[in-house]
Amino acid sequence: MNRTDDILTFMKKFLYKIQELLIHTGKQIWMIPIRMGHFLRKLGLKKNKREIIKKQEKQFSEHTSGSARGKGALVKGLGAGILAGVMVTVVISAAIFHSYAENAAARESELESQIAGLESENKSLENRNELLQLEGDKAEIAKKNAEILSSDEEGWSLVLVNEEHPLATDYEPARLTAIDSERSVDSRIAADLQKMMEDGAAQGLDMYVTSAYRSYERQREVFSAGMQERLNRGLAPLEAYEDTSTSIAFPGTSEHATGLAVDIIANGYSELDEKQASTPEQQWLMAHCWEYGFILRYPQDTGDITGIIYEPWHYRYVGKEAAKEITEQGITLEEYLGE
Ligand SMILES: [Zn+2]
């Protein structure tokens, strides 16, 4: 039983009381002439006997007619009572119904708002679930990427690491080969890299590896330094973050953490910008890197696919077969892997 039902029950009881009262009033109206008769008769007792008889006869007739009138009054009274009762019933019922209808409308509106609230809550939960699912998926990808890289099974060189496909932050190549005092690469690519650098040098080119394997911690330092440099230039924090992330992969999403990527620059032009592409060193690397199992990972006008701006210095080892196909088709690693 809710409050509306309680109110309705109370109103119904109240209504019956009014009906009873009105019907009773009808009875009272009917009683008036009878009482009048008794009163007149009492008055008549004070007259002489004849007069008393006359009075009694008269009173009797009056009583009779009074009784008849009383019956009429009874009918009329009852009728009026019932009619009034019915009228009040109708009016109050209408009022109750109206109030009930208003309550119902208010209740319906309240329920609608509750439903809308629940729907909105549900939607936000769905969105949250999607985000959690996405985060869950990413965590799964990151773990799987680390597993594939750790294994020597086919496919280790084709691991995709980007913003949507992170790498477990604790991944470390099982074997690292130093290429100088500070830098090292995954030992599985060391020989091909060395051959490429030697062949380039043999062509009279002067270039060197400026960046190779970077641990997650190192990537964090590089990313922070990139952001700091932009903040110092006066960029707002969010702008600095967004600008940094277009050229430096966010920690956990960098290919450098795989040990399969290297940044090679010309000795004569050490800036990491698009002009690097015009150097004879990059021209040669872009034309021949596939022969050594490398691809230019972030080609011009592919930022919408790779998520990284044109980087004519970042080379990624994918294996000789894949490098050949990717180069011939002029596609990115994402497109090659159908991602
Ligand atoms: Zn790089």
Question: Tell me: the pLDDT tens digits for 105-162?
Answer: 777 788 788 778 777 877 777 777 777 788 888 999 999 999 999 998 879 999 999 9
Q: Does residue 200 share a domain with residue 120?
A: no
CATH number for the domain spanning 289: value is 3.30.1380.10
Same domain, 111 and 176: no
Say if residue 170 is in the same domain as residue 95: no
> Which positions are catalytic?
311
Last residue of a domain, one of 85, 113, 128: 128
**Counted domains in the chain:** 2
Full residue range of the structural domain in which residue 189 is found: 160-215+256-336
Cα separation values, 28 from 62, 74, 77, 83, Å: 19, 8, 8, 16
**238 lies in some domain:** no
Q: What is the pLDDT of residue 100?
A: 59
Classify residue 90: in a domain, yes or no.
Answer: yes
Picking from 128, 150, 183, the residue at the C-terminal end of a domain is 128
Give the pLDDT band (50/70/90) at residue 266. Answer: very high
Residue 161 Cα to ligand 1 midpoint, Å, equals 12
Q: How far is the CA of 163 from the centre of ligand 1 (A)?
A: 14
Domain assignment present for residue 139? The answer is no
Residues 172 and 122 in one domain: no
CA of 211 to the centre of ligand 1 (A): 7
- pLDDT averaged over the chain? 81
| 122 and 169 share one domain | no
Tell me, in angstroms, the distance from the centre of ligand 1 to residue 232's CA: 23
Which pairing describes strands 294-296 and 314-317: parallel, antiparallel, or unpaired? antiparallel
Is 74's pLDDT higher than 50? no
Q: Are both 82 and 196 inside the same structural domain?
A: no
Is 263:272 a contact under the CB 8 Å cutoff? yes
| 222 vs 26, higher pLDDT | 222
In a domain, 141, yes or no: no
At CB < 8 A and 24+ separation, what contacts does 24-29 make? 24/81, 25/77, 25/81, 26/74, 26/76, 26/77, 26/78, 26/79, 26/80, 26/81, 26/82, 27/74, 27/77, 27/78, 27/81, 28/77, 29/73, 29/74, 29/76, 29/77, 29/80
Q: Are residues 88 and 181 in the same domain?
A: no
Ligand 1 centre from 298 Cα, in Å?
9
Q: Is the domain of 116 the same as that of 73?
A: yes
* Domain membership flag for residue 87: yes
The domain boundary residue, chosen from 128, 147, 179:
128
The answer to whether residues 70 and 203 belong to one domain is: no
Task: Looking at the structure, tell me whether residues 116 and 170 fall in a common domain.
Answer: no
Chain segment 9-66, per-residue pLDDT in tens: 777 676 666 666 655 565 555 555 445 555 555 555 444 445 544 555 555 454 444 4
Q: Under a CB-based contact definition with an 8 Å cutoff, are residues 325 and 338 in contact? A: no
* 247 is a domain residue: no
Asked if 262 and 193 touch (Cβ cutoff 8 Å), the reply is yes
Residue 328 lies in a domain: yes
Same domain, 67 and 184: no
| Distance from the alpha carbon of residue 131 to the mean position of ligand 1, in angstroms | 29
State whether 17 and 90 are in the same domain.
Answer: yes
Task: Judge whether 154 lies within some domain.
Answer: no
Model confidence pLDDT, tens digit, residues 82-110: 445 445 545 555 565 566 567 777 777 88
Q: Give me ligand 1 centre to Cα 249, in Å.
A: 9
